[in-house]
Every structure is written in C-alpha cells, then in structure tokens.
Amino acid sequence: MSPVEPREDLAGDEFARHARGVLEESVTRIDGRVRSRLNQARHAALEHARRRPSFWSRFTLMPAAGAVAAAVLVAFVLWPHPRPQDLATEGARATVEDLDLIADGDALDLVSDETDGAFYEWAVEQSENNETSS
C-alpha cells in the first residue's frame, strides 16, 4: 500500500477550484492570432472529414475490390509453376557441380590466379559462343 493514499474527491477541493478558475481565465485571454490559427486548423480538419469516403461508399467499392482479388487469385492458380520435384532435382544438380568445382584442385588454382585476366576473357568468350551456337 502506498504511504499517501490518493483521494478521488480532490477534484472538488478549494485549491483545485481556484486553479480551474485561473486557468479558465487564462483561456479567455488567448489572443486573436492564436484563435485565428486554431479556427483555420479546425476548418482544415473538417475538410478532411468531409473528403473521407463515407461508411456506405466503402461498401459500394467492395464488389469491385472483390472481383479484382478473385481475378488475381485465378491468374495465380492457373499460371504454370515449376513442380517441386523439378526444383529439387535442379538444386541437387547445382550442388553436385559446386562440389566438383571445390574438389577440383585445378579449378581452385585458377580462382587464386588473379593476374591471369586473359584466361577469364577467353572463358567468357567461350561461354558466349556456346550460347549463340546453341
């Protein structure tokens, strides 16, 4: 239990009433510039509220949105996807090729030989030639 027990009825005590009176008086003294800016801000907010789509118009848009979502779903289902086993086979083949490269000592020598730029140019040309011929 806290040492000082708050009391609900404090809102009604003399001190709080006096403070309220002083604060309310200070509100009445807010100058014209501030009042004008608050007025403008309120009108801007109301304009936003007016331009919002109403509760009912949201429902009128629902059929169109539903039709678009259904079309996207049908297109996704009908689109030819690669079968999972094809992907698995392809992945396994790539892994085996990578393993071969790593196990091949010559290939690692080639990779470490950074100065041999002519070889890499040749290799690129070869692969481009292979692609055009096939």
Partner 1 sequence: MPSATHGDVELSDSTTNSQTRALNQFLAGVELKAFKIAQAALRHEDDALDAVQDAMLQLARAYADRPAEEWKPLFYRILENRIRDMQRRRTVRGRVISWLPFRGEDDDDEQDPIAQAPSGEPQPPRKLEINETMEALERALENLPRRQQQVFMLRTLEGLDVAETATAMGCSEGSVKTHYFRALQALRAQLGEFWT
Q: Which is nearer to partner 1, 46 or 73 (CB)?
A: 46
Residues in contact with partner 1, counted by CB under 8 A, come to a total of: 39
Q: Which is nearer to partner 1, 8 or 131 (CB)?
A: 8
Residue pair 101/107 in contact (Cβ under 8 Å)? The answer is yes
CB of 53 to partner 1, least distance (A): 9
Which positions from 49 through 78 interact with partner 1, judged by CB under 8 A? 49-50, 52, 54-57, 60
With CB under 8 A as the contact rule, the residue among 3, 32, 44, 130 that binds partner 1 is 44
Q: Helix count (H) and strand count (E) of the chain?
A: 6, 0
Q: Which is nearer to partner 1, 49 or 78 (CB)?
A: 49
**Segment contacting partner 1 by CB under 8 A, of 26-34, 72-80, 101-109, 114-122:** 26-34
Residue pair 33/41 in contact (Cβ under 8 Å)? The answer is no
Tokens of 98: 């990578």
CA distance 95 to 56: 57
Residue pair 102/108 in contact (Cβ under 8 Å)? The answer is yes
